[in-house]
Each structure stands twice: as structure tokens, then as C-alpha cells.
């Protein structure tokens, strides 16, 4: 059967011949006048070289200004809610072991309180308390640590009346810490 007209090798040869004659294999040349893309190669450092992954952070707080044009003021629900928010001045200071720092906000009525505390110097949780007129509303909150020497805590509470709201942070570690406290309220 080697010389028969339907042998497999002859069928393959005919198929290849037909495909090549039909033009299906030809590549379409690029249209003239189209710009070619420019390729810029960059070396991206390994994740193991990233200072944040390695736990190497600078020993300070870095605050960056947001870029871009300011948002235009609009009359909206957002503006109404924003008007109900009070924020105490930001605290950035060193706190010795055993020392306490307090921040106060005077509330006109029922409010939601939010305290965010960050520290550099230890991963141990510090004692953080939110109170209203001397009565404790929340303690410790959600604590976390990052790297070898940073930590933080977030506390939320609601009040049923106005009065003097306070967040206090006590350095319960044996080392000095750089402290940042943000304390805010929103009228309910």
C-alpha cells in the first residue's frame, strides 16, 4: 500500500500544500504610519529588599501632603456630616516610661468618639483609655505591632450625653516612645 494515492504521508503532504497555497499562513504586515510602542525596562527590587517588609522604618513620623488640586466645596450630606466632626489638635511627642499623656474634647451632646494612637519605640501595647467626665468608656482597643519597634491602638466609643471626653495614653513599656494621638468626635 505504499504507493497508493490515499497513504497517510500523501494526505499530510497534500494538506500542507493546500494550506501554503491558500495564503492562510501569511502574516499581515503592520499598517504604515502607526507609531510603535516604546518599551522602558525597569528593575523592580525584590520584596525581601523592601524596608517595610524587613521591618526597617525611619525613627519619625512622615506626613506627606496630598497631591492634586483641592476638591471643590459642594453642598451635600458630606458637608453636613463634616460640620458635626470635632478633632483635637494632633499630638506628636516623646513619652517617657511610666508617663501619661491626655487629650481632651468638649462635647455638646451625644457623640461617637474615635481615638487612634501610634507609637515608635516598642511593640508592647500601651495603656490607652477613652473616658467621659472621668468614667471609662473604652480601654486598650484594637492593638497591633509592626516591625521591631512600632505599635498602635484604635478605640471607638459612643456617649449618651455631652461633657469632657478624654483619651489618655500611659507608657507601660520600659523604654521611651515617640507618640502620635488623634482624637475626634462626631455629633450623633
Q: What does the pLDDT look like over 117-144, one tens digit per residue?
A: 999 999 999 999 999 999 999 887 788 8
Backbone angles phi, psi at 168, to 5 degrees: -125, 140
Pairwise CA distance, residues 7 & 3, whole Å: 7
Pairwise CA distance, residues 59 & 53, whole Å: 16
Pairwise CA distance, residues 160 & 141, whole Å: 20
Residue 116's SS3 state is: strand
Query: How much is the pLDDT for 1?
Result: 47
pLDDT of 2 above 60: no
pLDDT of 57 above 60: yes
Pairwise CA distance, residues 137 & 114, whole Å: 11
Query: How much is the pLDDT for 44?
Result: 77
Is 173 within 8 Å of 122 (Cβ atoms)? yes
Domain boundary assignment for the chain: 88-187
Q: How many CB atoms lie within 10 A of CB 93?
A: 11
What's the CATH fold of domain 88-187? Answer: Jelly Rolls (2.60.120)
Amino acid at each position: 500500500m505504499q504507493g497508493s494515492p490515499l497513504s497517510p504521508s500523501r494526505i499530510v503532504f497534500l494538506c500542507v500544500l493546500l494550506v501554503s497555497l491558500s495564503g492562510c499562513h501569511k502574516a499581515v504586515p503592520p499598517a504604515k504610519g502607526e507609531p510603535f510602542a516604546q518599551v522602558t525596562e525597569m528593575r523592580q527590587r525584590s520584596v525581601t529588599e523592601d524596608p517595610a517588609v524587613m521591618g526597617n522604618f525611619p525613627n519619625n513620623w512622615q506626613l506627606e501632603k496630598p497631591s492634586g488640586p483641592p476638591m471643590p466645596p459642594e453642598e451635600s450630606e458630606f458637608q453636613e456630616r463634616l460640620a458635626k466632626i470635632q478633632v483635637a489638635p494632633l499630638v506628636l511627642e516623646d513619652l517617657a516610661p511610666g508617663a501619661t499623656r491626655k487629650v481632651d474634647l468638649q462635647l455638646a451632646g451625644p457623640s461617637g468618639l474615635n481615638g487612634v494612637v501610634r507609637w515608635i519605640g516598642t511593640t508592647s501595647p500601651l495603656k490607652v483609655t477613652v473616658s467621659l467626665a472621668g468614667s471609662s468608656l473604652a480601654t486598650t482597643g484594637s492593638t497591633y505591632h509592626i516591625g521591631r519597634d512600632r505599635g498602635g491602638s484604635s478605640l471607638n466609643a459612643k456617649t449618651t450625653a455631652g461633657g469632657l471626653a478624654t483619651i489618655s495614653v500611659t507608657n507601660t513599656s520600659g523604654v521611651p516612645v515617640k507618640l502620635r494621638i488623634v482624637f475626634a468626635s462626631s455629633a450623633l
